[in-house]
Amino acid sequence: MEIRCRKGDCSYNTGCSCNAKGIEVSKDADCCSYIKDELKHSLIIENGNLFEISEELVARNLRDVPLKCKSRNCLYNREQLCSANGISVIDECDGQEAACATYIER
């Protein structure tokens, strides 16, 4: 499973790749693992979103990382685990939350 992250100020984000040991998606399809890194956030405010390496080059294969999903309405939710081949996490419109962009309503 690949996990790509567009949340540039997340402490687990390294070049669009998630380095969290476990990931949880809420019932509203928000990434509960998102932790705002104040230094990254201030750099983004000053310089714009910083993605120094193409995400295709750094996306990490996370077969052993548990991806818990509490979104009962998601097509990929199988007994509270994500069954998608990979997920993408993006900025929500308010910039305060991280959302699972792979979410598809059943």
What are the boundaries of each domain within the chain? 2-100
What is the pTM assigned to this prediction?
0.77
Tens-digit pLDDT profile for residues 19-66 = 888 899 999 999 999 999 988 878 776 766 555 444 444 444 555 678
Q: What b-and-e string marks burial along 48-79, b requiring 16 or more CB atoms within 10 Å of the CB?
A: eeeeeeeeeeebbebeeeebebebeebebbee
Band of the pLDDT at 73, cuts 50, 70, 90?
Answer: very high
Q: Give the Å distances, CA to CA, from 40 to 8, 54, 68, 70, 93.
A: 7, 18, 26, 28, 19
Q: What's the half-sphere exposure (Cβ side, CA atoms, 13 Å) at 80?
A: 5
